[in-house]
Amino acid sequence: MSHTAPADPGRILALINAFRHSKTMFTATSLGVFDALDSIPMTGPQLASRLGTHAGALERLLNACAYLGLVEKKDGVYRNTPVASRYLVSASPDTLSGYIVYSDQSLYPLWGNLGEAIREGSNRWEQTFGNRNALFDQFFRDEQAKRSFLEGMHGLGQLTSPALVRAFDLSRFRSWVDLGGATGHLCIAACEAYPELEATVFDLPAVEEIARQHLAASPAADRLRFVAGDFFQNELPPADLYSLGRILHDWGPENIHRLLTRVCRALPPGGALLVAEAVLDDDHTGPEYAVMQSLNMLVCTEGGERSSAEYRALLLEAGFASVDVRRTGTALDAILALKAADP
């Protein structure tokens, strides 16, 4: 008589604990733990005095961060680990702290209403924040929130943009416009990769000041510029290559068709559109980041992540002649859609 081995509960227990790990990092970042420890290692009471927190409670948080590999503890003194210094300290050029604060203040509350999103099939902005149009109202509610959101997007962008601009050989293009390009990380990566290219960030006026700061810091600053506008309403700056990074996943089919049609019409014959999104596998069960991001889009927007076939259909319907999809090995994949050349 055979006996089936009992299923290992480890995976389930790890998932139960997963949100605690995230919230530990979110809270430590939001409190300024890693910024404070970047200047000088401290004991728990010293750090609590500096941050204005309860000493015993902060020590529990620090010990959890030590377990997670974010700080080191030796003789009662805490210091940042190298990964925290690079990605969790707000002054680091590679920081993800802005996205972490945004995740803590916006995404974490929204995900608390995931059940209602599943039952009703709609985002949770009104339920969570009391405003049906709260998406960018929440992002840009004040200068600190706006900077936190934009710097968060910049930090994420720096992890993906260098691979995206190299996914295809784009050296034949001379003018690139990144629609909704935020801080310009994709344009910066493109101009640094292709020395003959000039690139423009096209985004809302509220983004301009922060974007210009990042563009000016690039070695390719003389080939980078910012133009204010709304890609649904205003004329698009002329280019032979447009890009949409983390844009299409915000919208439903009607708005996507409207935007892609505008882009295709604005391109010259033989021009192209580079789309950067987390592309789902054909059966929509992977990869992990795309699946989780699709749920994130459910609670945040009217959109979601899509498969290669779905993006190909949307682009061909909008008037593009051919579509190629490539995995980049990062959290975003690259889709290049070509407009037909003149016969």
Tell me the domains of the chain and their CATH numbers: 10-95 (1.10.10.10), 156-338 (3.40.50.150)
Choice between 142 and 27, residue whose per-residue pLDDT is larger: 27
Query: pLDDT digit string (tens) for 182-224?
Result: 999 999 999 999 999 999 999 999 999 999 999 999 999 999 9
The mean pLDDT of 318-343, rounded to a whole number, is: 94
Confidence of residue 3 (pLDDT cuts 50, 70, 90): low
The mean pLDDT of 11-38, rounded to a whole number, is: 97
> Which member of 54, 249, 257, 284 is catalytic?
249
Q: What average pLDDT is seen over the chain?
A: 94
Within 8 A by CB and 6+ apart from 251, the residues are: 259, 301, 302, 303
249 is catalytic: yes
pLDDT of residue 133: 58
Global pTM reads 0.92
pLDDT of residue 121: 96
